[in-house]
Amino acid sequence: MIIASIVLAVLFVGTATALKKQIPESVSAMVYAFPFKWLWTIWLWAVTILITPSLLDAMPEDWKFLGFLTIGCLMFVGAMPLIPTESNKAHNILGVTAGILSQLCVLLINPQWLWLWAVWAVVFVIKTLDKSLDEWRWSVFLSECVCYITLVCILIV
């Protein structure tokens, strides 16, 4: 199931990138790459559902609620795709919350994978060294990727 989640994630990101001819600003922004918003929702739900059993199984007994909260946040984020004319405040809050909760799960299961955040920091510094901070839009997408990669890595290893 984890491998299916990875394949779906890579295929969807790859397709969105190819369609827009650029790396998306965020996972949520990929909704604009496809003609039907429901396709993004189904994709996010599928990627989330596929990792759910492994995540809940790997969580320490007293902390399983963090796994449930992470999954719940992601499911609600999927139910609220970005809409250009709205503030999307709830979507953004739940998305950030899901990211933070996912990394708390990583911390509890195998904190060694959090070293990937150091790689993120190095990439961020290198990419923004000679540019204004206005050009760091890609960092949200990279942060979301690190959240997913660390989560998947703790479930595979």
Using CA atoms, how far apart are residues 61 and 142, in angstroms rounded to an integer? 31
> pLDDT digit string (tens) for 34-61?
988 899 999 999 999 999 999 999 999 9
Q: Which of 58-67, 78-87, 132-141 has the lowest average pLDDT?
A: 132-141
Per residue in 82-122, pLDDT (tens digit) is 888 888 899 999 999 999 999 999 999 999 999 999 998 88
Range of weakest confidence among 1-15, 114-128, 143-157: 114-128
Of 123, 141, 125, 142, nearest in space to 133 by CA: 125
| pLDDT for 101 | 98
pTM above threshold 0.95 = no
